[in-house]
Chains A and B, each alone.
Chain A
Amino acid sequence: GAVVSQHPSWVICKSGTSVKIECRSLDFQATTMFWYRQFPKQSLMLMATSNEGSKATYEQGVEKDKFLINHASLTLSTLTVTSAHPEDSSFYICSASGGASGGTNTGELFFGEGSRLTVL
């Protein structure tokens, strides 16, 4: 299947600094990528939909100035957590659509390995 890679897998930063997480589709082009946040022992919460060449669409309650998303190419989307605080510590997961199969979009998403952010 299609491969999505995230980097870094782990990151520790000081409060007030900014952290960038990359999400790459390695063997396919992804016009749309999604960013999720997962708290310990909880489900995935969709944060935003990243569209190549246009502004991201944020879910209700997600601060767009806090979580900057850039999707400058068909294989790369980045999530920047600005002025991070301890409450931003979480597991961030990206996903990308695998695109059409036989002309039909089956809705399948391929997920990155996740990035664990710890803010001290």
Chain B
Amino acid sequence: AQSVTQLGSHVSVSEGALVLLRCNYSSSVPPYLFWYVQYPNQGLQLLLKYTSAATLVKGINGFEAEFKKSETSFHLTKPSAHMSDAAEYFCAVTYGGATNKLIFGTGTLLAVQP
């Protein structure tokens, strides 16, 4: 079965510190992987996506993620956290095709301390 696991429902970092949000997927076929950010009472905004091109993907707001097939991981990182990064982050996977059916992880709430 296709699934995504996000380790850590809550992550707290200090402003300026490294952000690391973990995501592992299960798949028997090459996946497409996404990271979305959600601010309170809003929809989802795409941060970045992996679609079988470069394994290191750079997204918006200074975020990046690396696809590691051997580890079945797609962790999200940012070198220096900003207060505005505080939000809920979702990792998602789809296997392409016509349906674009996304399967979401449970989400990680990122808190940034001053």
Contacts and interface: CB of A to CB of B under 8 A. Distances in A.
Chain B contact-residue range equals 20 to 34
Interface string B28-64: 0000101010000111111001010000000000000
Interface stretch (B13-21, B66-74, B79-87, B91-99): B91-99
Interface in B90-114: 90, 94-107, 109
Contact of A114 (B32, B41, B49, B97): B41
B46 A43 contact: no
Interface in A61-102: 91, 93, 95, 97
Interface residues of A, number: 26
A6 B43 CA distance: 10
Q: Looking at chain B's contact residues, is the secondary structure mostly helix, strand, loop, or mixed?
A: loop
B99 A49 contact: yes
Nearest to A9: B41
A91 B46 CA distance: 19
A105 B105 contact: no
Residue among B36, B51, B98, B100 with the highest chain A CB neighbour number at 10 A: B100
Interface of A: 1, 4, 6, 32, 34, 41-44, 46, 49, 91, 93, 95, 97, 105-114, 116
Nearest 3 CB-CB pairings of A with B:
A111-B43, A107-B32, A111-B44
29 contacts: A4-B43, A6-B43, A32-B99, A34-B100, A34-B101, A42-B107, A43-B104, A43-B105, A46-B101, A46-B103, A91-B41, A93-B43, A93-B44, A97-B100, A105-B97, A105-B100, A106-B96, A107-B94, A107-B95, A107-B100, A108-B46, A108-B100, A109-B100, A110-B46, A111-B44, A112-B43, A113-B42, A113-B43, A114-B41
